[in-house]
Chains A and B, each alone.
Chain A
């Protein structure tokens, strides 16, 4: 049985009239990296701050390493310093009046460790994050990436039960971010620490997480291994938020146990078979059909008889270096796909867009999903 390190039960946080976190529950097992992913304002940071103890929830419980640290029913609220957590802040929060060593030694100092132990552990941790030679440097003189490493070392040096990362990479430039992401993954694999990670960057979330929770408007839309969430999104929001997506509106014309047929709006007589059985709609219903751009294929030969091919005209071709971006017109709507060099077409060319039945997904075109109404 794997040990639960962090458990969040029915957390609610209300700011004025806004419910920032709405009944959120999840568990983090030992050695796991669980990511809260979502757009800004979705409640992910507030959830993290309630776990850390910087926000008091209006309802709910938090348990860290088998100890209840928050419980509104039992009136428990353990202050942050007694939760045995480590935290890395978006702004790094490096104390500018201390050296690198003093920054990292601070948590051990407040725990009254002896000097030899402090020196040993700080040096070991600085070595781990690749700052062995920066010990005596005033922290303020470090670059952003180095400050981030100090911040990480400071959170790891006392081996807390769980590490909380609040958008730790978002203040770094693109190259450094990639480098730090890989480094973080390496450290996590090497040391096996447990992480609750908050980010709005899906690449970070996909690549670092053991499991990933997509949050929207205060609640968790879907929680699972990143691959599963990406491949089998359970809500249109998740599908939309993770990766790019092409969307078509249409009407269901035929419904079978193993597949359904949808006719696209504005494209008379273009029907596609869809083998997704998760979302079945009644015949005559308006639906939204979605597919990830990497799953479509450009067919030069657009002759009839092939199933699931949409006739398109190439409106524009943009050279992106390694690949080409095609702007396609299908009836009255435009869509953009990226194709490898060899599939590049010319402006004005007529092509077919092949949508494999197994990758198409159907969502009800309901007002609950505002973006499903747009005319994109």
Chain B
């Protein structure tokens, strides 16, 4: 922010050409910093504030004391950590094997399989959870019913309302992320490093264990830490499957503390602060690790990376991978779709179990119409503000030279470390505490703000990577020909960036359609999106209607994912 102040002596012309740019950057900086930092700081402050929001503040440590002494909170803390670690451990082992099979072997249909895992990454958790409930519910789960028909089985085998049920449903997205992150890394590995091991006597398995996995360690570690951080996001699966049996994690605990009268904001914000600090430490560690070491495993030359032959195991392995891929995509969605046509969710042996009523009722329900409009409004709002602001931030960070640029970069990336539920809590608290912003409470605008902040890191990152690829010469040429930086941005960069902006916008829209944890504390019955409506139905026990809405959100998300994949593929996003 070097030249913000206007020197009085500068001639008129200078003010017109130079100052607006610095002023705009300064403004951008302030807006972004305000949006990201205020809620997080107030969250910390809030943990020491004991009075109800709106009343005169009373400061004290009671919130923190409760957070560290209440056995139910401590249990939620422990559950969070244990679930995250167990999930990551399982997903990592399977994910590494899957990524290797997809990227380095002659597995049949590996492109299609990779695509399915890619889809699974985008699938919202709620529909997946609903689909699995139909299969694995302790009482009416289809799989349980089938297994009980066997002579030697008595009583249900699986119960999805359990610790392992939560782990199981989470595999959908956990595996997707691993494959998404690790397959490209495996693909970029110089094939001659593997071949040299083979040529001097190592079998394929030995090569995998002794050469490939150690070489992939940096990527695997990054994926693990990333997965651990991401698993703090988890909310709706735990809400749906854990809360009924009294199994809380910190995110559902925060909701519990805030949602019921009397709300205990001090404990909730203290609990949130603990995780906020924990995550910041983890993220800092990951960043410094990423910064200091990575092997130069890509040498550019590659005699067409020849896939390792799986030999006679090829088809058996394919069957297992395909089964996995189907289990994380088609199986839950197909079950969900089936559920939408059931008179009573999960009851297959009542007279005439099938019906169209759920669809008819839901489509005629004013609350669905309302949430549909909310989704579109919030989606468009997030998409447009996101596309404009993210690309501007990226542009300033990549191209402009000013002192605060690293700070802006950091701030724009900070929300990445903040789980949705904490962002929601922080914003809610900000709205209550600042009072002047109280008018936002219960409005769709608050949802837009929340999602705008939440999607910022990813949107800025995509825009940055494309800008870096574009090279500065194009703009320099425009500047030489006499364009100001704003003109250059508008007339040269925006047209070049249009596909990227569309992708960024689409992803913003998608977050509005699929995100629950960020907005769950902010949405009222007037402002809730479809995802929130589905959650309200499902958590309220109306699985039939919930599954209809959840299925619709899944469709919207998949369609958007496919469109952005198509556009993104053409401009080289995700092919870095």
Spell out A's residues near B (CB within 8 Å).
45, 49, 52-55, 79-83, 85-87, 89-91, 93, 95-97, 106-107, 110-111, 140, 151, 154-155, 158, 160, 164
Contact = CB atoms under 8 A, between A and B. Distances in A.
A164 B199 CA distance: 10
A89 B301 CA distance: 11
A93 B196 contact: yes
A299 B206 CA distance: 68
B199 A111 contact: no
Contacts of B301: 90-91
Given A87-B199, A95-B197, 9 more contacts: A80-B198, A81-B199, A81-B203, A93-B190, A95-B196, A95-B214, A96-B297, A107-B201, A154-B200
A87 B202 CA distance: 13
Contacts of B210: 106, 110
B195 A87 contact: yes
B295 interface: yes
29 contacts: A49-B303, A54-B306, A79-B203, A79-B204, A80-B195, A80-B199, A81-B198, A81-B201, A86-B200, A87-B200, A91-B301, A93-B193, A93-B195, A95-B215, A96-B295, A96-B297, A97-B295, A106-B197, A107-B202, A110-B201, A110-B203, A110-B210, A111-B201, A140-B295, A151-B196, A154-B200, A155-B200, A158-B200, A158-B201
Contacts of B401: none
B192 interface: yes
B296 interface: yes
Given A96-B215, A110-B206, A85 B295 contact: no
Nearest to B295: A96
A7 B544 CA distance: 71
Nearest to A82: B201
B198 A86 contact: no
Interface in B193-249: 193, 195-204, 206, 210-211, 214-215, 217
A85 B200 CA distance: 7
Contacts of B196: 87, 89, 93, 95, 151, 154
Nearest to A155: B200
Given A106-B197, A106-B210, A140-B295, A93 B192 contact: yes
Interface size class of B (residues with CB under 8 A): 20 to 34
A89 B195 contact: yes
A90 B303 CA distance: 10
Nearest to B300: A91
A158 B206 CA distance: 18
Contacts of B192: 89-91, 93
Nearest to A164: B199
A45 B306 CA distance: 14
A160 B296 CA distance: 29
A42 B210 CA distance: 34
Contacts of B204: 79
Nearest to B304: A15
A97 B299 contact: no
Contacts of B195: 52, 54, 80, 87, 89, 93
A96 B296 contact: yes
Point out which of B190, B196, B197, B301 has the most chain A C-beta atoms below 10 A from its C-beta. B196
B40 to A, nearest CB: 39
Interface in B294-314: 295-297, 299, 301, 303, 306
Contacts of B303: 45, 49
3 A-B pairs with the lowest CB-CB distances in the bound complex, closest first: A107-B200, A93-B196, A87-B199
A140 B296 contact: yes
A91 B190 contact: yes
Contacts of A110: 197, 200-203, 206, 210
Nearest to B303: A45
A106 B295 contact: no
A130 to B, nearest CB: 20
A53 B297 CA distance: 23
Contacts of B200: 81, 86-87, 106-107, 110, 154-155, 158, 160
Nearest to A98: B214
B306 A95 contact: no
Contacts of A107: 200-202
Nearest to B195: A54
A268 to B, nearest CB: 52
Contacts of A85: 199
A95 B203 contact: no
A197 to B, nearest CB: 15
Point out which of B190, B195, B201, B214 has the most chain A C-beta atoms below 10 A from its C-beta. B201
B546 to A, nearest CB: 49
Given A86-B200, A106-B210, A97 B217 contact: yes
B257 to A, nearest CB: 47
Contacts of A87: 195-196, 199-200
Point out which of B199, B201, B202, B203 has the most chain A C-beta atoms below 10 A from its C-beta. B199
A320 to B, nearest CB: 32
A131 to B, nearest CB: 17
A95 B206 CA distance: 14
A64 to B, nearest CB: 12
Nearest to B214: A97
Nearest to A111: B201
B314 to A, nearest CB: 14
Contacts of A49: 303
B193 A95 contact: yes
A113 to B, nearest CB: 11
Contacts of B201: 81-82, 107, 110-111, 158
A155 to B, nearest CB: 7
Nearest to B302: A91
B220 to A, nearest CB: 12
Contacts of B217: 97
Contacts of B296: 96, 140
